[in-house]
A and B are shown apart, each in its own frame.
Chain A
Amino acid sequence: MAKYIIKRFLLMLVTIFIIATLTFFLMHAVPGSPLETERTTNATIQANLEKFYKLDQPLHIQYIDYMKSIATFDFGPSIKDPNRTVNELLARGFPISFELGIITILVAVISGILLGTFAALRHNKLIDYAAMAFAVIGISIPNFVLATLLIQQLAVTWNIFPPATWTSPMHMVLPVLALATGPMAIIARLTRSSMLEVLTQDYIKMARAKGIKPIRIVMRHALRNAMMPIITIMGTLLAGILTGTFVIEKIFAIPGMGKYFVDSINNRDYPVIMGTTVFYSSFLIFMLFLVDIVYGILDPRIKLHKKEGDV
């Protein structure tokens, strides 16, 4: 196991290196610079500023400096907001984004599995059709459309939930709903089809022949086997929720990382772009690693590491 983790860790480093390099060259290939503003600045001042931020250096020198900053986890100050370092921005924004993300994942996974399981157990009955109709709608509506719709109806018209910011549990309802509906619908559909397949397996029939209670057959015998495809797409869903947070945070004025990320790209704020990108990708890669571990726990047939003598 230790060997596997070390191997995965080294692979993660390589992945992050490639992501960082690509981001660097892509950002520098885009025209514009963080120092360009609407105002015409004095050429000398411009040159001095460029010199200060080392933007006058050849690209490969900048690249090496940048790699050094990643290696030391010190991305330096933001260019647009020189009073704050990138690390400070991350420390402030990440907990909020993380909270939004985790609550969303929990809501999506739990309600998705419940909905899918009920649909499968009542196959071709009203609950099944209703759940799947709901799922199709959930998959089809983009989260930003749903977000504005929710704000309009639940916040503005009916005034049940506050329309924006992230201060109390009541404030969390709308953004989480907007962000979780899509993944939940995907999980529900997947759970249903996978559950339907598992329920026809011989071992389920055998459990029935043993006179085991139906609730136990579903929870203990079927669900665990039906979960495997869901774990498989969790990686993709996580990435989806992560990028979803950018938009949702913007719509609901949530002071998370997404705001800095989007703003930094518009402003060509190189240190912030690099910092947030590397941070986001590291986080996602780590989550994918966790997904693989969960895989091995759920299904004993999957071995993450080869033992000697294994086939």
Chain B
Amino acid sequence: MTGKHITDELTRTLVEDGADIDSIEHDGKRGKIVSPKKKQKNSAEKILEVEDLQVTFSTYGGTVQAVRGVTFDLYKGETLAIVGESGCGKSVTSNAIMGLIPQPPGKITTKGVHFKGRDLTKLSKKEMRKIQGVDISMIFQDPMTALNPTLTIGEQLMEGVKQHMKLSGAEAKKRAIDMLDLVGIPNPEERLKQYAHQFSGGMRQRIVIAIALICEPELLIADEPTTALDVTIQAQILELFEEIQLKTGVSIILITHDLGVVAKIADRIAVMYAGKIIETGDKREIFYTPQHPYTQGLLKSVPRLDLKEAELKPIDGTPPDLFSPPQGCPFAARCPYAMEVCGNVHPDTTQLTDSHRVECWLQDPRAKELIEQGAFAH
């Protein structure tokens, strides 16, 4: 059921996307599926620049290199999806941006995580608190545990605005009611007095979203926001994201392993593997012309209705051990096209188009002959 639904969603969105491309180019107002390139041209304002972010954790078993040099930009009003399997470092990346990595045991080294020109990693905890929840908000995976069971929804909504925006009780309450209204909770005024256990899972996620949005952040980091929800509720929450982005113009970083979700709301996609972004591009580039064998494998492992090939192809093998990551390409051991160089030297980043970048020896200009010989097909 889950698979089928996602497939439908994926197919529908992609087809819709493909069919509408022309009309979108001409009619920017439709907004919903605006091409990201166009957005960059319209408002080339970079809201977040992450450069060579590395996060390690010291444990009794050794040092885990959870994130090994992640670089990406985020533009105003766009949705960037960070995709990857469990343990690839996508949540750690988002927590690091948010300032939620406890240090020690964590350790962050980076050339800079610039949010609107300020390096977040250089701020004191106190300065960071003025950004957390105000400029950057976060939505957590499981709405069943993200809300405090012993505080009313109202208090959890209002404490942020009261502290950050110094609003009075009445103003904060009015704002809380507006927010609940925005995320589609009926009878917001009465609901404020209730506790988390009196809401269903989907409702709780709506409340978590309302809490995240109440101080009008410019960046919303959603860490697997639909994973813990039923498929029908997932669709509703995704629609809510689109609606909110349209209304508030917030930039979204969406962390997920669910390609159906990505197909629905992302503008741009970054594929992570073993603590690195191995391929990034706009949605169409990643779905139609994936260049990294891992991305291709990832797409083949999602059921699709529009292709006759019904068989799903899982990627063989397991991700590398991040206690001692390989010196070459981390995917080499599982890669059907692996060459000798792959196991020994990590590939450089190859810029394919303005937006499309990949870290793979097959795409390296020096390996061009190989592609022409047909060693690499998709």
Same complex: yes
B197 touching A209, Cβ below 8 Å: no
Cα separation A216 to B158 with both chains bound (whole Å) = 13
Contacts of A208 in B (CB 8 A): 100, 132
B151 touching A220, Cβ below 8 Å: yes
B131 touching A211, Cβ below 8 Å: yes
Known contacts A208-B100, A211-B134, A216-B159; A224/B150 CB under 8 A:
yes
A210 touching B133, Cβ below 8 Å: yes
Contacts of A209 in B (CB 8 A): 98, 100, 132-133, 137-138, 140
Contacts of B164 in A (CB 8 A): 211
Contacts of B250 in A (CB 8 A): none
Interface residues of A in 136-181 (CB under 8 A from B): none
Contacts of A216 in B (CB 8 A): 159, 163
Q: Does A221 count as interface, using CB distance less than 8 angstroms?
A: yes
Q: Does B66 count as interface, using CB distance less than 8 angstroms?
A: no
Known contacts A203-B146, A299-B149; A211/B132 CB under 8 A:
yes
Q: Does A309 count as interface, using CB distance less than 8 angstroms?
A: no
Known contacts A201-B145, A211-B132, A211-B164; A299/B137 CB under 8 A:
no
Interface residues of A in 183-224 (CB under 8 A from B): 201-203, 205-213, 216, 220-221, 224
B160 touching A203, Cβ below 8 Å: no
Cα separation A301 to B138 with both chains bound (whole Å) = 26
Chain A binding surface, main DSSP class:
helix
Cα separation A114 to B100 with both chains bound (whole Å) = 26
How far is the CB of B28 from the nearest CB of chain A, in Å? 33
B129 touching A300, Cβ below 8 Å: no
B129 touching A301, Cβ below 8 Å: no
Determine which of A206, A207, A220, A300 lies in contact with B197 in the assembled complex, contact meaning CB atoms within 8 Å.
A300
Across the two chains, which residue of chain A brings its CB closest to B126? Answer: A213
A203 touching B100, Cβ below 8 Å: no
Cα separation A159 to B267 with both chains bound (whole Å) = 78
Q: Does B48 count as interface, using CB distance less than 8 angstroms?
A: no
Q: Does A85 count as interface, using CB distance less than 8 angstroms?
A: no
- Could you jot down 18 A-B contacts, CB within 8 Å? A202-B145, A203-B147, A206-B140, A206-B146, A207-B148, A209-B137, A209-B138, A209-B140, A210-B159, A211-B129, A212-B160, A212-B163, A213-B129, A216-B159, A216-B163, A220-B151, A224-B150, A300-B150
Beyond the given A205-B140, A206-B146, A211-B131, could you list 18 further A-B residue pairs with CB under 8 A, ordered by the A residue number? A206-B138, A206-B211, A209-B98, A209-B133, A209-B140, A210-B159, A210-B211, A211-B129, A211-B130, A211-B133, A211-B164, A212-B159, A212-B160, A213-B129, A221-B151, A224-B151, A225-B150, A300-B150
Which B residues form the contact surface with A (CB < 8 A)? Answer: 98, 100, 128-134, 137-138, 140, 142, 145-151, 159-160, 163-164, 195, 197, 208, 211
